[in-house]
Amino acid sequence: MQKLQRSTEHLIKMALIEDIGEGDITTKATVPKEKYVEARMTAKEEGIIVGLDIAREVFRQIDRRIRVTSRVREGARVKKGAVIATLKGPARGILTGERAALNFIQHLSGIATLTGEYRARIKGTKARLLDTRKTIPGWRSLEKQAVKLGGGENHRFGLYDAILIKDNHLKIAKTIEKAVDAARIFYGKRKVEVEAGSLTEVRGAIEAGADRILLDNMGLAELKKSVALCKQARIETEASGGIGLRNIRGIAKTGVDYISVGALTHSAKALDVNLKID
């Protein structure tokens, strides 16, 4: 069990306030206060499980008497029907925290599972799978951790930890060279990545001295040519835009170094997990 960040504890608190409000009126009316029960969480489909520590904290914030025991490790791939956790404690607390706990586990497990599917598609190539900043506000650290547990890697966490000059920056800066030079002046030795949507822009980014070039929404033919140019210049490449399970292997075979996929976090289907009282 790992210690959760304060921001995660706060997110859990906000989720419980949102769901419980002034109280779980159904449970208060139908479940005796002194009733103790045992329950289990079960995966209803195959997938990668993430969020057990978060579920434990959900129940801890509701009632410290509830004991949650993980039956699989964080990031484990399980088959349909696997019991992933067992619970013991006051029935009211377990029922009140059920939905919030499942929401965290289902969403994060869905991200990890989808990441695993993408990672499997590029197995045997040199390409490395990255996430993006396309995350639910407030959930970024959790979603990026789920990507890592699914076999992917994290791109920049926010606007503060890496330089990525995109098309709108270039419209204001006017030229790639000016934008790269400005980044060097402000941040010295930090690596500079530049977005390019055409071979002309790739050449411009190479001439400007970019450390990595993000090859955005390119067809395979143009992508192959761009990767070849960058290899000659010893510049890292990253493919992005319009990438899905159907085409990621073809993109990986171009020799690109990284592939960033926004769908890992913004389009992952929740993994089906339930909680049942024994």
Is 241 marked as binding a ligand? Answer: yes
The torsion angle over the Cα atoms of residues 182, 183, 187 and 193, rounded to 10 degrees, is -170
Which residue(s) pair with 85 in the sheet?
41, 70
φ, ψ of residue 112 to 5 degrees: the values are -60, -40
- What's the token pair of residue 33? 């206060």
Is 240 marked as binding a ligand? Answer: yes
Is 96 marked as binding a ligand? Answer: no
Handedness of CA 150, 144, 270, 49 (dihedral sign): positive
Known catalytic residue at 144: no
Residue tagged active-site, from 57, 98, 201, 216: 216
Place of tokens 């939905």: 99
Is 242 marked as binding a ligand? Answer: yes
For 231-269, letters b (16+ CB in 10 Å) and e give eeeebbbbbbeebeeeebbebbebbbbbbbbbbbbeebe
Is 156 marked as binding a ligand? Answer: yes
Is 195 marked as binding a ligand? Answer: yes
Is 174 marked as binding a ligand? Answer: no
Is 166 marked as binding a ligand? Answer: yes
Known catalytic residue at 195: yes
Residue tagged active-site, from 195, 201, 238, 257: 195
Known catalytic residue at 174: no
Is 132 marked as binding a ligand? Answer: yes
Residue tagged active-site, from 44, 73, 166, 178: 166
Is 99 marked as binding a ligand? Answer: yes
Please, is 40 exposed, middle or buried when counting C-beta atoms within 10 Å of its C-beta (0-12, 13-18, 19+)?
middle
DSSP 68: E
List the one residue out of 212, 237, 236, 211 whose CA is nearest residue 223. 237
Residue tagged active-site, from 71, 77, 128, 134: 134
Binding residues for substrate: 99, 132-134, 156, 166, 195, 216, 240-242, 261-263
As annotated, the active-site residues are 99, 134, 166, 195, 216
Going by the annotation, the residues of the binding site are 99, 132-134, 156, 166, 195, 216, 240-242, 261-263
